[in-house]
Structure 1
Amino acid sequence: MSKSRSFSIYLLKEGFDATNTLKEDSTLEDGVDANDLPEGAGLYVLDSQETPPWWRGYFGIQKHLMQTLKGAIVFLPVNDRTFAITFGHVFHNLKPESYEYDFGLRVTLNSVDPDQLKSLDSLMPENARRQRTQLSVGSDLTLFDFDRDSTILKSLTGKVREELKPFFKHATGASSIRISSDVGPAGLAALCGKLLELYQDDTYKTSFPDIQNVAPVKDPVIVDALNAKLIAAIRAKEDNVVLTIPDIVNYADEMYATFAGEGAGLVYDDVFIDRYFEYLDSNGFNLATIDVDALKKHHLVLTNEAGQPRGDRPSILKCLIFDSTLDGGAASYHLCEGNWYQVDGNYVSELSTYLDPLCADTTLIEYSHDDEGAYNDAAATAASSLCMDKENIAPAGQKQVEPCDIFKTENNLVILHHVKRSTVSAMLSHLFNQGLNSVQLVRDDSEALENLKALAVDKAADGEEAEILAAFEGNRFKVVFQIITHKDKTAKSLNLPLFSRISLKRTMKELRRMGIDAEFCFVENQVEAAEGKKKQRKKKADDAPEAEAA
């Protein structure tokens, strides 16, 4: 039996071959003799000079120790396409725009046995969480806790179906496909022909339905085209370009922001794209010349009221949310935290179909307050409810868990309102998770339930205790997400960023599985954006007592 060997294989785009795929600064050699290359193949070899490992000099090791890197790329034309088969660490010599970025993953999905998966790399774009899940025995996708609605598949490993084992035994797919095969040099063309056939197939949609509803865009050609759409929209000041803080912000603390990268800026008490335009204009920057490099150079700076920086300084590009399409294509594309994602058009429609019926008119007052804390107090009073903001129902010795912001009982139903002044993806995802986690704790932990009951009774007005206790006896709960925004409530779920919609759908489905009613509402934000103000200068020892403006 022939020995099985590992191969990493890329499929080049149409129009690329051995003559135009390697980077201009590549150090790979061609013209190396090889007796068993497949017909028509080209060979490029990495044969670097020997060097001592860095740790030899670090520890003063006297023994003569040397290391070197060896590698090769074989370019193999098959059926009017060209494959790049790489050995060693040489793939970075390929031009980024030269190969198909979905080749390895798609071939793997079409070739593996759905019940023999071994490893899965995934990404949750709403919080950029990456993880690898591995199982000791082959299993189906359900045992990997992969959520098709909210998780992006980055890489997949598994044993292939029986009919493909004459070609290769197992596969790992991402941009390239890594396979184990006992095929000899003469059989590489047939192997690559089979891989091309699998790449052009879409039967994986039956074995793995909806597994690529959302996929990262890696192809630099597509990224450049999408960036061009973004720049055109910014120059035209289109309404669908949104500037956000790409992190969870505690609005209980003072939160101000300014901009950097083009000169001094005013300090604002909130973040809007128009503030960025004002900043550029005040520093003489012509918006008609803005490009992606400028978006990377310019930064949003979180500060205190005096304009002193605190926390991170994300680039403006990382702060933008933008949806677009490409001419002639059915797919939608979403920009989030500086990365582009391709979203299946049908999936976007399905999100609205699922979520919009769950959008209700709010029962709370409009927002015209200094902060969420003040609003929660006022809204609870106006609705004859109880303010639970910053309260704790966690069992003894556990981390604090806030039950909700506003608590109400009605018709033997316990209603938990969770309030957030934002339509920023990360903050909304945090809100939805908070609402789910708190009601799960109340339903699953008797101590947490008793803590909530005691807290409600303690806060209740005279004569209301009986109604509250009766509602708890019924063990019926409702969760309401109250989102404070300037946006038009008639847009319903479209007011939320894509990944927030995905997160909300996942949360709503889980609440329904628990038998808990849930809805989301929009509270009108009546607070006008305040004018920017200059930073306060640090006082010198001989300064007058009054703070001066810089």
Structure 2
Amino acid sequence: MAKTHLSLILIKEGVDIEKVLIEGLNSIQLESGYRLYYKLMPTRKPKWIESFFNDNINIGETFHSKSVSAIILFEKDIDGEHRIFAIPFGFGRNLIRSGLIEERFGLLTALSAIDKDKMRSIDMSSLESVLLNSRMQTSTLSGIDNFDVDVNKDLLKSVTGRVEDGELDSTISGRDSLSFSSSATYKTIGREIETYYRKYKSGNYKQYFEWIDKILVIRDKTFIEVLNSLVVSNINSNLLDKMTIAIPDIVDWAKVDHFKFGREDFLEDVDIQLLYDELVNNEGKEVSLEILKSRKIHAYNSEGVKLMSWSVYKCLYVEASYKDKQYFLNEGQWYCIENDFVNEVNSFYEEMPLYSVPLPDYDVPLEDAYNKKLVDSDKEKYFLLDKKLIHISRSSFEVCDVLTSDKKLLHVKNAKGSALLSHLFNQGLVSAECLKDVELRKQINNKLSDACKLDESSNFRAEDYEVVYVIAKPNSTKRPSIPFFSKVSLKNVVSRLFLMGYKCSICGVPFTYVDPQKEEKKQAKKTKNIKNYPWK
């Protein structure tokens, strides 16, 4: 019998079947009490008729098409649980009311059903400075080890593989919905629905894939509204201790002269208290989500040319607790983090060694100036390697910004966002990996003075070197405060450095630089706004 490719959706618990679908749908009564709901869309002309042929084809409605959205619902009592399932056709998924689809039903079912060595492809997001989406496929059925997944930073979004267990015999794919092929009809599909639901409830995925529960992307629009309302409420109440402003992109800070936000034209940086003062205190009105998403933070160069802009919402970093769970807003995306994982990451960061040598404040405008200042403070101890690139094939890397006489590799950054921090951490990792190559060490030594040359023998000892991450922030302590996802990135990098044998440490230095020209502009603007009344 011919098979039909189907998608199975699980509706959230506690929803009445009469409330599952949107209003205004047509329906057809089927046998056995089932009903097919549908919505017909108007006939439409393909866009390419106009864009590519300029409407110069005299074919009437030959290529006009009509899309159909249809869906059928199933109520099932399975092992004492009453659940509702939906099988959509065409664009039928859009007929379900917002927020009612059980997220990850398909993913957890597939992972619990698929043989661990019979996976075909996975879609995942890599949690670095930004969410990087990718799909990996194998030419033959394989285990998860062949997909190069990093369980500490990769979010598994969907999986495809083969299930052959006596009850089921199909290639299945799972994300929110479960996709599979079946020879059943609407009258006989019930048995397969029950089998897949039992796979979902079994929790078998935890045997090999328990790590997928560490970090979850929140996509339920209704719940996102709840979390956003917490953010808005806390801003209006001046409860800002769990919020920061972080520029979401990797920016060339040598080109950024100042920021503009609201009435403030010459900002060195934008922080959460300034946002509150501008939106709440100065304007005298409550913040709304619409304001957070519409108001912009602008970056300008010294000529007054706007370089980049971001919405306030995109720049918000928020840590929030809700019903005993931890949630994080990062670059406009909400995540739920398993409590044990939060504690694990925070503990790792708090226990990470601090660099034992005091470093000067970051009281200069740019990173290269700070590195030079550090080297000039003790030229017998510090050696400048900033911007001395080592070329490998078509790429290049820096050994570090500053190398010390006792083999400390200092990587320095003025931390203005999580993207820049992740970039900093990975720079240290790439450098450390390259240092283990004897030919690269010889190339590096060509750029070093005799006082700081690296060992060119085959007996290179990584344990003799220490990778030091120097992070400059306003009011920073020795252990700088950084966003949670930056801690995740650091933990992943440092774990790999430890495996290679390197020692690692972190060092916070206060960013204290004040640009005299910008300060002069600020004062001039304030003076201009003061009215010269006769009695003053």
Whether 1:451 and 2:453 are equivalent positions in the alignment is: no
Pairwise CA distance, 1:350: 1.5
Q: Counterpart in 2 of 1:70? A: 68
- 2:300 paired residue among 295, 299, 303: 303
Whether 1:116 and 2:118 are equivalent positions in the alignment is: yes
Structure 1 length-normalised TM: 0.85
Q: Counterpart in 1 of 2:495? A: 509
Q: Counterpart in 2 of 1:103? A: 105
Structure 2 length-normalised TM: 0.87
| Whole-angstrom distance in 2 between the partners of 1:253 and 1:362 | 33
Task: Say which SS state the counterpart of residue 373 (structure 1) adopts.
Answer: helix
| Whole-angstrom distance in 1 between the partners of 2:523 and 2:135 | 45
Asked if structure 1 preserves the Cα contact closer than 8 Å seen for 2:353 and 2:504, the reply is no
For residue 23 of structure 1, what is the amino acid of its counterpart?
I
Q: Counterpart in 2 of 1:169? A: 170
Q: Counterpart in 1 of 2:152? A: 149
Q: Deviations over 1:339-397 (max 9, x none)?
A: 100111111111233343323135222322222222111112335201111111224x6
Task: Say which SS state the counterpart of residue 106 (structure 2) adopts.
Answer: helix
Q: Counterpart in 2 of 1:220? A: 221
Q: Counterpart in 2 of 1:210? A: 211
Q: Counterpart in 1 of 2:400? A: 404
Pairwise CA distance, 1:76: 0.9
| Whole-angstrom distance in 1 between the partners of 2:327 and 2:16 | 29
The structure with the greater share of residues assigned to strand is: 2
For residue 340 of structure 1, what is the amino acid of its counterpart?
W
Structure 1: any 5+ residue segments left out of the alignment? 458-464, 538-547
Asked if structure 2 preserves the Cα contact closer than 8 Å seen for 1:385 and 1:407, the reply is yes
Asked if structure 1 preserves the Cα contact closer than 8 Å seen for 2:442 and 2:456, the reply is no
| Whole-angstrom distance in 1 between the partners of 2:510 and 2:224 | 36
Instruction: For 1:47-66, list aligned pairs within 5 A.
Output: 47-56=40-49, 59=53, 60-63=56-59, 64-66=62-64
CA 1:21 to 1:142, structure 2 compared with 1: closer, same or farther past 3 Å? same
Pairwise CA distance, 1:222: 2.1
Instruction: For 1:477-488, list aligned pairs within 5 A.
Output: 477-486=465-474
Task: Say which SS state the counterpart of residue 37 (structure 2) adopts.
Answer: strand
Pairwise CA distance, 1:502: 1.4
Pairwise CA distance, 1:245: 0.7
Asked if structure 1 preserves the Cα contact closer than 8 Å seen for 2:355 and 2:505, the reply is no
Whether 1:323 and 2:319 are equivalent positions in the alignment is: yes
Pairwise CA distance, 1:255: 3.3
Pairwise CA distance, 1:200: 2.6
Instruction: For 1:334-483, list aligned pairs within 5 A.
Output: 334-363=328-357, 364-383=359-378, 384-395=381-392, 398-410=394-406, 414-422=407-415, 424-444=417-437, 446=439, 448-457=440-449, 465=450, 467-469=451-453, 473=457, 475-476=460-461, 477-483=465-471
- Percentage of pairs with the same residue: 27
Pairwise CA distance, 1:54: 3.4
Instruction: For 1:285-300, list aligned pairs within 5 A.
Output: 285-286=284-285, 289-300=286-297
| Whole-angstrom distance in 1 between the partners of 2:162 and 2:196 | 15
Q: Counterpart in 1 of 2:26? A: 29
For residue 4 of structure 1, what is the amino acid of its counterpart?
K
CA 1:151 to 1:112, structure 2 compared with 1: closer, same or farther past 3 Å? same
Pairwise CA distance, 1:40: 4.5
Whether 1:200 and 2:201 are equivalent positions in the alignment is: yes
Asked if structure 2 preserves the Cα contact closer than 8 Å seen for 1:97 and 1:221, the reply is yes
Q: Deviations over 1:132-154 (max 9, x none)?
A: 11112111111111111111111
| Whole-angstrom distance in 2 between the partners of 1:348 and 1:163 | 40
Structure 2: any 5+ residue segments left out of the alignment? 531-536
Q: Deviations over 1:197-240 (max 9, x none)?
A: 23333221112131231110111232122112211221232221
Asked if structure 2 preserves the Cα contact closer than 8 Å seen for 1:127 and 1:426, the reply is yes
Asked if structure 1 preserves the Cα contact closer than 8 Å seen for 2:71 and 2:95, the reply is no
CA 1:52 to 1:283, structure 2 compared with 1: closer, same or farther past 3 Å? same
Q: Counterpart in 1 of 2:267? A: 268
Asked if structure 2 preserves the Cα contact closer than 8 Å seen for 1:534 and 1:549, the reply is no
Whether 1:252 and 2:258 are equivalent positions in the alignment is: no
| Whole-angstrom distance in 2 between the partners of 1:225 and 1:430 | 32
